[in-house]
Amino acid sequence: METKLTLRLNDKVIERAKNYARSNKISLSKMVESYLDSITKQEEGEKKISITPLVESLSGVIDLPVDFDYKKEYRDYLDEKYK
C-alpha cells in the first residue's frame, strides 16, 4: 500500500534532489523511500550499525587481499609522513 506524504524542505535541497533523481533515472519519491527504508531497516538479532547510504554505496569499490593489514599500512603511512 502506498500513502502520500507531504514534506517541507529547503528549495535548494529540493532542486538538487530533483537533479540527482533525474540524472539517476529514479523518481524523487522512490529516492526518498529508498533512503528512509535504508536508515530504518534493521534485521532481527543484528546489532544496530549506522551506515549512511553514501558509505554503503562505496562498499566494495576497492578489492583488498584477505590478509590485508590496514593497521600496519596506516602505521607505515604515518611513519613515512612524519620522518
Question: Whole-model pTM?
Answer: 0.48
> Which pLDDT value is given to residue 60?
77
Give me the phi and psi of 62, to 5 degrees please: -115, 130
- Whether 42 has a pLDDT exceeding 60, the answer reads yes
Cα 1 from Cα 80, distance rounded (Å)? 58
- Whether 46 has a pLDDT exceeding 60, the answer reads no
Give me the phi and psi of 56, to 5 degrees please: -60, -35
User: How big is the chain, counted in residues?
Assistant: 83
- Whether 43 has a pLDDT exceeding 70, the answer reads no
> Which pLDDT value is given to residue 45?
46
